[in-house]
Amino acid sequence: MLKRYYTDLVTEAEAPARQAFRFFTRIDDWQDWSSVIAHARLLGRDWENSRFLVFMPRLPGVPLPPVPLLVEILTFEPNRQITWGIRLPMASLQHRFTFVPVEDDRCRIHHEEWSEGALTLMLWPVGRWIRRFNDRFARELASMF
């Protein structure tokens, strides 16, 4: 199956992994610290597998208004990892954040996004915008600590 990585980036945060993870999961605050998020909300009260997340990204360099995206929480491992995305027959788009302890007061945040199958072909023309969005979001998240 055709596969393309848009982002495979590791940033360092000056905070324990547990603290960085808790900060990240406060989704209602994303638009306060990220220049590329216009709005974000979790549908339901808690992060859990099979819940949904809606967010409105601002793609750097794209002169269009933010459009809401609805994605499913595919994996949720408290204090460690969150993956969301879209899974269709013969196609998927997934976005994963993994929080890795380095020392007591630092962690690494591994930020990945990739597509497989038909979505890879459909998203090919906007791949650089996705990468710019992800890079800025990841760096802004790490800078909050």
The residue extents of the domains of the chain are 3-143
What confidence score (pLDDT) does residue 63 get?
Answer: 81
- pLDDT at residue 64 tops 90: no
Q: What b/e sequence results for 6-25 when a residue is b if at least 16 CB atoms lie within 10 Å of its CB, and e otherwise? A: bbebebebebbbebbbeebb
CATH topology of domain 3-143: Alpha-D-Glucose-1,6-Bisphosphate; Chain A, domain 4 (3.30.530)
Distances (CA, A) of 58 to 81, 104, 117, 130: 24, 34, 25, 10
Share of the chain above pLDDT 90, in %: 82
Compute CA 3 distance to the chain's CA centroid, rounded to the nearest angstrom. Answer: 18
Cβ proximity of 109 and 11 under 8 Å: yes
CA distance 81 to 48: 11
What confidence score (pLDDT) does residue 96 get?
Answer: 98
| Mean pLDDT, the chain, whole residue set | 94
What confidence score (pLDDT) does residue 126 get?
Answer: 87
Cβ proximity of 126 and 138 under 8 Å: no
The arithmetic mean of pLDDT across residues 81-103, rounded, is: 95
Strand order in the sheet with 81-88: 3-13, 106-117, 91-103, 81-88, 69-77, 52-57, 37-43
Secondary structure of residue 107 in the 3-state scheme: strand
Which residues neighbour 125 within 8 Å (Cβ) at sequence distance 6 or greater? none
What confidence score (pLDDT) does residue 29 get?
Answer: 96
CA distance 124 to 12: 29
- pLDDT at residue 39 tops 90: yes
What confidence score (pLDDT) does residue 18 get?
Answer: 96
What confidence score (pLDDT) does residue 60 get?
Answer: 78
